[in-house]
Structure 1
Amino acid sequence: MIQRIQSFYLFLVAALVLSMLFMPLAGYSNADGNWQFWAMGVYTMADPAQMVLPAWPIAILIALMGLLACISIFLYKNRILQMKFCLFNGLMLLAFYPIFFLYLWVNGKSLAATSSLAAALVIPLVAVILEYMAYRKINQDEQLVRSADRIR
């Protein structure tokens, strides 16, 4: 299972996406103070335990994307379903950006602060590329099995 390169790609996707739960995604600042936007919500820099604005849908989306990548690793016996999971997860990774920027804009308006993006926002883009590479390898395996079935 993990010997296949696509399983390694999917494992990297799961690890990268789930690591976003523990990284700041953006920051806000104005004259009153500084805040950080994490997956769970917006926290003040002065007291990191104090949540100012919740963002649970972002955390749920990130956890769901990581879970789908983990599940698709173990679907190696059903390659067609594994390819569908890869496509769906890739679409969810791309849908993360508009949802995140909507939250970024709404939270910036409610805090009356300017926002700055963090490096963790590159992770979904890297994950989409890895999902595509896994999809191609799974498709190659499926084509190889189909060609072997035609020979029999």
Structure 2
Amino acid sequence: MIQRIQSIWLLLATLTISCLLFVPMVTTTVGSTEYQVLATGLYQKTGEVTTKVEAFLPLLISTIAVALMCFINIFNFRKRAIQKKIIIANVVLIIGLSFWCSQYAKKIPGGLETANATIGMFLPVIAILFCMLAIRGINNDEKLLRSADRLR
């Protein structure tokens, strides 16, 4: 059913991955200029002015695709086995996305040695946790259905 707990976990995973578009993953300060790496690109902030230095279009598209995959999977509630397989594939894609984000984070001026990791670097881990909790909810539903079948 759509109101099951795994729907909430998948929605939270979707929101967590979507936050990568708005929350910086890595920041660094060079002189009076602050640089931020988001899934959308590399941004330079001087004073109050923020400009995009480089766009990361492939990373942006893949981040949106992974978030949409999580969201669309909410509506597979009638096909629990397929829903679990899609969640596992989504976890693999999130791991790949986080690796890809780290590769783009190396483009920050000064390198990763001087950069500060922000909450954006930990969002994929939180999304994976939400996906695992969704799998646990699906397993609990399957147990409930098996026990109901035994009673018949």
* Equivalent pair of 2:40/2:55 in contact (CA under 8 Å): yes
Inter-partner Cα distance in structure 2 for 1:63 and 1:5:
23
Name which of structure 1's ranges 29-38 and 95-104 shifts more when overlaid on structure 2: 29-38
* Equivalent pair of 1:104/1:115 in contact (CA under 8 Å): no
Residue 149 of structure 1: how far off its partner (Å)? 5.1
Inter-partner Cα distance in structure 2 for 1:112 and 1:27:
11
Q: TM-score, normalised to structure 2's length?
A: 0.84
From the superposition, tell whether residues 127 and 88 of structure 1 become closer, same or farther in structure 2 (CA, over 3 Å): same
Match of 2:142 in 1: 142
Residue 6 of structure 1: how far off its partner (Å)? 0.8
Equivalenced residues, count: 148
Q: Does 1:67 align with 2:73?
A: no
Residue 15 of structure 1: how far off its partner (Å)? 1.4
| Unmatched runs of 5 consecutive residues or more in structure 1 | none
Inter-partner Cα distance in structure 2 for 1:28 and 1:143:
49
What SS class does the counterpart of residue 53 from structure 1 fall into?
A: strand
From the superposition, tell whether residues 7 and 96 of structure 1 become closer, same or farther in structure 2 (CA, over 3 Å): same
Q: Percent identity?
A: 30
Inter-partner Cα distance in structure 2 for 1:67 and 1:61:
10
What SS class does the counterpart of residue 74 from structure 1 fall into?
A: coil
Which protein is richer in helix relative to its size?
1
- Partner deviation per Cα, 1:10-63 (whole Å, 9 max, x = no partner): 111111211221112211332473211121111110231x22122122222221
Match of 2:103 in 1: 102
RMSD: 2.1
Match of 1:35 in 2: 35
Match of 1:17 in 2: 17
Inter-partner Cα distance in structure 2 for 1:65 and 1:23:
16
What SS class does the counterpart of residue 76 from structure 1 fall into?
A: coil
* Equivalent pair of 2:2/2:77 in contact (CA under 8 Å): no
Residue 66 of structure 1: how far off its partner (Å)? 1.1
